[in-house]
Amino acid sequence: MSSSNELRHNWTKEELSTIYNKPLMELVYEAATVHRAWHKADEVQISTLLSVKTGGCPEDCAYCGQAARYHTGINVQALLPTETVIAYAQKAKNSGSSRFCMAAAWREVRDNRDFDRIIDMVREVNKLGLEVCCTLGMLSESQAQRLEEAGLYAYNHNLDTSEDYYDEIISTRKFDQRINTINNVRKAGITVCSGGIIGLGETHEDRISMLRTLANMEQHPDSVPINALARVKGTPLENNPKIDSWEMVRMIATARIVMPASMVRLSAGRIEMTESEQAWCFMAGANSIFTGERETLLVTPNPGVSEDMQMLSTLGLKPMPIARSAND
Ligand code: SF4
């Protein structure tokens, strides 16, 4: 059913639940089939994520080590100089990355000098021929337009979790505000990167509901990051149980089936997975990974670039060339 050439945007809760709850081997087989129909299954996009402004965030996302209100001991860092960011981007390109994502721990973008500097960074990284991505918090339509004019290729804004569970995780903004920012990004003609996190204490129904929200968007997100909670000491969720890798495989496979053209990103939580577990995620349809500068994914550990390249080689996979990921 799902390897047809049609993208669907009207998934029912029952349909999604039936896919999500399939016996795992069946689910992975179906997802792998869809993956092969829509993508080059031997290619994995390497995206590098750099925190350009770290910590001190006024929001209260219960999973996040960068929220100022939690005592996580991270090094708070003001916006990096543009030259430093460009040097990191060049290094990422030299190491095989085709996408460079700049993250700032802000609640929202403000029209100030820091945003002017982000615009400069986007312009300069774009000149390197990389897909430039930002994640800067909430964004207005006019700010999205400025980013697009500077050459921004993608904007990341995750749903995080289901609409029903959202208030349990974040109280300082609403689910609708997430959707609003995603709509502003779309209107500006920037590709959308939006997914979520599992391991926050949500139910399977919440996971299904989150995937359904993404899959029923008028246009599927071009990239769908699936994260496992990275348990950060000092955050309210530090003692949550570790997510079993099979749960990641199940999420990835379901996302692959219902959003066949999208890039599905195996994101945070990889450090706690073996190579074999990651291989299952690739088989289930993940075709992108994040590598982080200084071997961190924002403020949590992540495998290093060379380790990742070795893993891809072992699995017979190769880095995706630049500018191959626009879908939908
Ligand atoms: S996830 Fe983003 S918005 Fe939430 S506290 Fe962390 S940096 Fe702030």
Quote the ligand 1 centre to 54 CA distance (angstroms): 10
Average pLDDT, integer, range 258-273: 91
In this predicted structure, the answer to whether residue 38 has a pLDDT above a threshold of 70 is yes
pLDDT of 97 reads: 85
Burial class (CB in 10 A: 0-12, 13-18, 19+), 247: middle
**How many residues are present in the chain?**
328
Does residue 67 line the site of ligand 1, with CB under 6 A?
Answer: yes
In this predicted structure, the answer to whether residue 297 has a pLDDT above a threshold of 70 is no
How is the chain split among helix, strand and coil, in percent rounded to 5? 40, 20, 40
Q: Pull the structure tokens for residue 2.
A: 């799902």
- Cβ neighbours of residue 28 closer than 8 Å, sequence gap 6 or more: 249, 253, 280, 283, 284
Q: Pull the structure tokens for residue 155.
A: 């904007």
Does residue 57 line the site of ligand 1, with CB under 6 A?
Answer: yes
At 198-213, the pLDDT tens digits run: 999 999 999 999 999 9
At 54-63, the pLDDT tens digits run: 999 999 999 9
pLDDT of 6 reads: 85
Which residue has its alpha carbon closest to ligand 1 atom 4? 61
- Cβ neighbours of residue 12 closer than 8 Å, sequence gap 6 or more: none
Does residue 92 line the site of ligand 1, with CB under 6 A?
Answer: no
pLDDT of 304 reads: 67
Does residue 66 line the site of ligand 1, with CB under 6 A?
Answer: yes
CA distance linking residue 78 with residue 302, whole number of Å: 22
pTM: 0.91
- The pLDDT-based confidence of 295 (bands split at 50, 70, 90) is very low
Strand partners of residue 265? 225, 288
Which residue in 26, 39, 37, 44 sits closest to 253, CA to CA? Answer: 26
Quote the ligand 1 centre to 61 CA distance (angstroms): 6
- The pLDDT-based confidence of 321 (bands split at 50, 70, 90) is confident
Q: Which of 60, 61, 156 to mutate to test the pocket of ligand 1 (most atoms within 8 A of CB)?
A: 61
- The pLDDT-based confidence of 163 (bands split at 50, 70, 90) is very high
Which residue has its alpha carbon closest to ligand 1 atom 5? 67
pLDDT of 324 reads: 40
pLDDT of 323 reads: 59
Average pLDDT, integer, range 172-192: 96
Which residue in 146, 91, 99, 157 sits closest to 123, CA to CA? Answer: 146
Share of the chain above pLDDT 90, in %: 80
Which range has the worst mean pLDDT, 34-48, 97-111, 118-132, 310-324?
310-324
pLDDT of 240 reads: 96
pLDDT of 270 reads: 84
- The pLDDT-based confidence of 2 (bands split at 50, 70, 90) is very low
Share of the chain above pLDDT 70, in %: 92
CA distance linking residue 46 with residue 93, whole number of Å: 10
Q: At what angle do helices 13-20 and 204-215 cross, to 10 degrees?
A: 120
pLDDT of 40 reads: 95
**Parallel, antiparallel or unpaired: strands 318-319 and 43-53:** parallel
Quote the ligand 1 centre to 106 CA distance (angstroms): 7
Looking at 39-73, list the stretches that DSSP marks H as alpha helix, in order from N- to C-terminal side.
none
Which residue in 60, 53, 105 sits closest to 82, CA to CA? Answer: 53
Which residue in 297, 296, 291 sits closest to 311, CA to CA? Answer: 291
Q: Which residues are catalytic?
A: 57, 61, 64, 101, 133, 193, 265
Does residue 160 line the site of ligand 1, with CB under 6 A?
Answer: no
pLDDT of 98 reads: 86
Q: Which one has a higher pLDDT value, 1 or 307?
A: 307
In this predicted structure, the answer to whether residue 300 has a pLDDT above a threshold of 90 is no
Q: Which one has a higher pLDDT value, 6 or 208?
A: 208
Which residue has its alpha carbon closest to ligand 1 atom 7? 105
Amino acid at the residue 210 = M
Does residue 181 line the site of ligand 1, with CB under 6 A?
Answer: no
